[in-house]
Amino acid sequence: MKIISYNVNGIRAAIQKGFVDWLKAESPDVICLQELKADIDQVDTSEIEALGYQIFWHSAQKKGYSGVAIWSKIPPKQVTVGCGIEKYDAEGRVLRADFEEFSIMSVYMPSGSSGEERQDFKMTWLADFHQYIHQLKTEIPQLIISGDYNICHKAIDIHNPKSNANSSGFLPEEREWMENFINSGFVDSFRHINQEPHHYSWWSYRAGARAKNLGWRIDYHLVSESLRDRISHAQILPEVKHSDHCPVVIHLN
């Protein structure tokens, strides 16, 4: 099973840049999308459905903001929209599809880079999300949480850890949360396969950062520990350029 996660930074803009042709060629079984910035009725999904995908979508209440989706060639048993916490569900941040042997979640975690208020919101989200997943795992032990976490876990995951030590996304308390969350029963699938540096999934639009590979690895497939032995392949696709992020891929046996 091939699963891709991709923050498209606006699905309509990505489609104009050839996203559908890329999706057809890549042909994942499931793709989790973040930062759609559109309602489903604003997007012509006919070409996507013609590729065999069932489309599940969770928009933010605010127009042109946030939003997550799961497109699947394998019919899920059930789809759950949101996490049941109104202030997060209003921002379109969580969508889960349950399959026979595991569940896949598309998650768009808040950014704190716009200021103190949103950083506080992000830290509250992190605490609440951890508690939500802790409870969910009692019902659904085999989880794949795919998406934009807006956190670099370790120094290897960011191009300049020293100068970014006080940057949202690499703050000590965010990295500590990531460490604790993974240690609560998850595997960072990419690092399970690849321990090399200079692999990133997001680059600033400023100063030619992408061409210089001055990036951050903030997009993940975190997989329940019980699925560790089923991870056969994981990679990042930096050459794919519909967004300031790139897709991240996992294959499960």
Known catalytic residue at 120: no
Residues 6 or more apart whose Cβ sits within 8 Å of residue 170: 151, 152, 158, 161, 164, 216
Pairing status of strand 219-224 against strand 186-188: antiparallel
The residue type of 20 is V
The whole-angstrom separation of Cα 145 and Cα 4 is: 11
Which residue, among 117, 19, 34, 26, has the nearest Cα to 69 in the 3D structure?
34
The length of the chain is 253
Residues 6 or more apart whose Cβ sits within 8 Å of residue 172: 165
Q: State the catalytic residue, choosing from 39, 44, 120, 148.
A: 148
Residues taking part in catalysis: 148
